[in-house]
Structure 1
Amino acid sequence: MTDLLEKAVETARRLPPDLQDEMARVLLALAGDQQPAYQLTPEEEADQDEADAAEARGDYATDEEVRAIWAKYGL
C-alpha cells in the first residue's frame, strides 16, 4: 500500500461510520468491484418502483406541474 493510501485510510478511520461506508463504496468502485454507490432504503425502493411504473404508463408531469415545482423552490 502506498503512503498516500495509508494516509487516506487513517483519515477515514476518524470519520463517522456512514461516511466510512460511503468512502469504501467509492474506493471499491474505483478498484473495479461492482458495488452499488448508494444503497436505497425500502421506502426509496418503493418510490422508485412507483416512478418506474408511472413512466411505463407514460404518466409524466405536465409543463404546469413542473413550473409549479420550480416556483416552489425559487427556480
Structure 2
Amino acid sequence: MGKCRPLGFLISLPFALIALILSFVGAIIWLIGSILSCICPCCVCCTGIVNLAMTLVKLPVDIIIWFIDKIPC
C-alpha cells in the first residue's frame, strides 16, 4: 500500500478540522491584505500578513501529512 496509513489519517481529522477553520480566517486575512497592498503598495507590513495568511490556508493539508508521516503502520 505504500504511503497509505489510514490510522494516521483518522487521528489527524479532528486537528485538520480545527485547522480548516483557521484556513478560512487565513483566506479572509489574505483577501484583505491583498486589497490593502493593491491600494497602498508602500505598506510593507501587508506582505508579511499575506504570507502568514497563506500559511494558515495550507495548514489543514500540512497537519494531515504530518500525522500520516508520524504513524508507522
TM-score, normalised to structure 2, is 0.28
Q: Which has the higher contact order (CA 8 A, sep 6+)?
A: 2
Q: Which of these two proteins has the greater Rg computed from alpha carbons?
A: 1
TM-score, normalised to structure 1, is 0.28
